[in-house]
Amino acid sequence: MTFWDHLDELRGVLLKCILAVLLASVVAFCFKDELFAIVFAPKQNNLFPTLFGSDISIRLINTELTRQFIIHMMVSVYAGLLIVMPYIIYQIYGFVLPALRKEERRYTTPLILTAYLMFILGVLFCYFIIFPLTFRFLATYQVDTSVENLISLESYIDTLTFLSLALGIAFELPVLSWFLGQLGIIHRRYMQHFRRHAFVIILIIAALITPTTDAFTLALVAIPMYLLYEISILVVKK
């Protein structure tokens, strides 16, 4: 195929992906109540009541006339993108597949599948554990009792989106380590030598992700991230 033939095929792939996202977004937009019931579940403290302690009631506010409608559309697009992500990966992989050599194809499919599953696992970890703890702490934190917290809907959505993306990317550590190991950039002995340094960095990252002051919450984030580092050591070649 010529360059223009490849470009035309890529355009077709991108068009299919965009149409799939639009269709899924429209469906998500129509199911507003169900969609936002999922989005607001972490703030209701009904996921793991024993873990998160006593129930608290935090109301969200909106200060702009069109903001709720815009956020409804944004969340619908996010949901649509998340729903059709396997289809998008399938389309892009089908476009790239003919350019791969036989030995590259053997590990490319498991690599892509594992990367997707690890990202989803990171998002779920954020949704069920990290974000409820973070929201509970920040929404109830006060520098003085005279200062009342009024949490905006936009701030809630932005924080949830950022933390979900951050945890999803963090859970890609074993996949990234394996890939860099295959390229010869990192080695198992190198990662084992800097294990203590990595542990300190993980503690710092965990403290930034969950700004609570108790050791339990910090350990709840740091331990899984450190386990990911240990898994990365195992999957990297010597």
| Eight-class DSSP state of 129 | I
pLDDT (0 to 100) of residue 24:
97
**Domain assignment of residue 197, yes or no:** no
**Domain assignment of residue 223, yes or no:** no
**Domain assignment of residue 155, yes or no:** yes
**Domain assignment of residue 218, yes or no:** no
pLDDT (0 to 100) of residue 2:
75
pLDDT (0 to 100) of residue 46:
53
pLDDT (0 to 100) of residue 48:
54
Residue 221, amino acid: V
CA-nearest of 177, 234, 172, 166 to 206 is 166
- Chain centroid, CA 204 distance in Å: 19
- Give yes or no for a contact between 164 and 107, defined as CB atoms under 8 angstroms apart: no
Number of domains in the chain: 1
For residue 60, report the phi and psi dihedrals to the nearest 5 degrees.
-100, 150
Which domain covers residue 71, as residue numbers? Answer: 3-171
pLDDT (0 to 100) of residue 133:
82
pLDDT (0 to 100) of residue 146:
87
**Domain assignment of residue 128, yes or no:** yes
**Pair of tokens at residue 174:** 């074993």
pLDDT (0 to 100) of residue 7:
85
**Domain assignment of residue 35, yes or no:** yes
pLDDT (0 to 100) of residue 208:
78
**Domain assignment of residue 226, yes or no:** no
Write out residues in the chain with pLDDT < 70, as ranges.
Answer: 1, 45-56, 210-214, 238
CA-nearest of 198, 191, 184, 194 to 232 is 191
pLDDT (0 to 100) of residue 121:
94
**Domain assignment of residue 192, yes or no:** no
